[in-house]
Amino acid sequence: MYFQSGSEERPKVAKVAKVRNVCKLTDEQEEKISAFLQRDENTFMYDLKHRDHMNKSRNAAKFVELGGELGLSPDLAKQVYKSIRTQFAKFIIPKSGAKGDVNMTHRRQQLVDRFQFLKVHVHRKVNKRPLASVSIPN
């Protein structure tokens, strides 16, 4: 089917919901993840400056290894790692304009303490767009 002009409507395609896996980690599993990431041969997984950080095959192999240690699939191990890293970043980097500390529950403080080694590798994304357009008259 070809569209000749903008007057004809395009058929609407239903969006497919992404399937999310829910995984509750035990303290022991979190400790294993922390110990796994702190090994010298695994620093490339979170160190953006490491030459192998973007090496997909090496990352995939490490998630297979991590999944084996935790008894999870490699995809679920990757999801768990990203979730922990995101939670950690949210707890240590205050939101713009936030006053005071983030409400640090015992669980949050435990996560921050356990993954403290990630702190130097977590950075806040900076919005590179200007806040407003300014036109200068000639």
In Å, how far are 18, 36, 79, 84, 128 from 29, measured between CA atoms? Answer: 26, 10, 14, 12, 38
Burial (CB count <10 Å: 0-12, 13-18, 19+), residue 52: middle
Higher pLDDT, 93 or 19: 93
Write down the pTM of the prediction. Answer: 0.70
Q: Is the pLDDT of residue 23 over 70?
A: yes
- So where are the chain's domains? 27-93+102-121
Q: Is the pLDDT of residue 92 over 90?
A: no
Taking each helix axis from N to C end, the angle separating 74-92 and 56-70, rounded to the nearest 10 degrees, works out to 100
Q: What pLDDT score was predicted for residue 127?
A: 66
Q: Is the pLDDT of residue 31 over 70?
A: yes
Average of per-residue pLDDT across 106-123: 88
